[in-house]
Amino acid sequence: MPDNNRNSFKPELAPFDRLVAILAVLRSEQGCAWDRKQTHKSLLPYLIEEAYEVVEAVEEGNSEMLCEELGDLACQIAFHAQLASEAGSFEINDALKSINDKLIQRHPHIFGEKKELSPRQVRDQWEKIKVESGEKKSVLSGLPRSMPALLMAYRIGEKAGGVGFDWSNAGEVLAKIDEELGEIRAEIAAGDTERLSDEIGDLLFAVSSLARKLQVDPELALKGALAKFRERFTRLEDAVNESGRRFDDFTLEQLEQMWQNIK
């Protein structure tokens, strides 16, 4: 085995440096056929999968799982950096220098003149700095189009609010939700399917804004509601199956009563 391969397993290497070295070996001619075949694009499903597994570990409060999943996610990040290094685009340390500089620049209340800011003030300051520095042409720049729609709605509202374009309180958002519901009723009466789709989109956007004003993550709230519904519906299915009958044998009122009993 060549020296560079043995260097990957030197115990004195810092763990992250060792990860970078291992990936360099896996991508080399003496490395792994699967790893050599990968591209930035082919790795994307694994990057997304690992990010979601980190989310799952956090939601379950499983620190052991979180430790492992963060390592898996770091591997994906280092893998992309290795591909960029081979292409002559940048090195992993360039990416790390970028985020180090960015963190210092966007926390002037810590690394500059000391100021006591609330979490919301820090968030708003972050958004303003990005625009004023010229890093972003628009407040809404940087949001990937592939984001889940509900999460994007939350982040768009957050970014717009960071520069002062926002409702003053949750009550104002509730009034907007009532307004959107009225418009939906009007489109249902008019039978305009295309407009109805637009109005339902506006309603969902307003609901995400209400969640934001109440400091509730709408993505997590919806996932919790879906998990609760799934658990209860499974119990409803069990009750129907145990009765020896089918769903079609029950009236909607009977099923609703069974549902309420389950709740």
Q: What is the pLDDT along the chain (263 residues), one digit of tens a residue?
A: 445 555 556 777 899 999 999 999 999 999 999 999 999 999 998 999 999 999 899 989 999 999 999 999 999 999 999 999 999 999 999 999 999 999 999 899 999 988 898 888 888 888 788 777 777 677 787 788 888 899 899 999 988 888 888 999 999 999 999 999 999 999 999 988 888 999 999 999 999 999 999 999 898 899 889 999 999 999 999 999 999 999 999 999 999 999 999 98
- Cα torsion angle, 181, 187, 189, 194, sign: negative
Same domain, 90 and 20: yes
What's the whole-model pTM score?
0.64
Q: Do residues 59 and 35 both lie within one domain?
A: yes
Question: 38 near 31, Cβ under 8 Å?
Answer: no
Tell which of 44, 67, 95 closes a domain: 95
Whether 143 is covered by a domain: the verdict is yes
Q: How far apart are CA 66 and CA 60, in angstroms?
A: 9
Same domain, 83 and 145: no
The pLDDT of residue 233 is: 95
Is position 74 within any domain? Answer: yes
77-86 residues labelled b (16+ CB within 10 A) or e (exposed): ebbbbbbbbe
Domain-embedded: residue 258: yes
| Residue found under tokens 């770091």 | 74
Residues 161, 237 within the same domain: no
* Domain CATH number, residue 173: 1.10.287.1080
Whether residue 204 sits in one domain with residue 182: yes
Residue 227 lies in a domain: yes
The pLDDT of residue 207 is: 96
Give 248's DSSP letter.
G
Can you give the C-alpha Rg of the chain in angstroms?
25
Same domain, 151 and 204: yes
Q: Which of 37, 64, 95 is the last residue of a domain?
A: 95
State whether 197 and 246 are in the same domain: no
* 179 falls within a domain: yes
**Residue where one domain finishes, among candidates 40, 63, 95:** 95
Identify whether 80 is part of a domain: yes
**What's the structural domain count of the chain?**
3
Tokens of 74: 């770091």
Are 212 and 225 members of one domain? no
The pLDDT, as a whole number, for residue 148 is 86
pLDDT of residue 108: 92
234 part of a folded domain: yes
248 lies in which domain range?
Answer: 221-262
163 plus 238 within the same structural domain: no
Is residue 47 one of the residues assigned to a domain?
Answer: yes
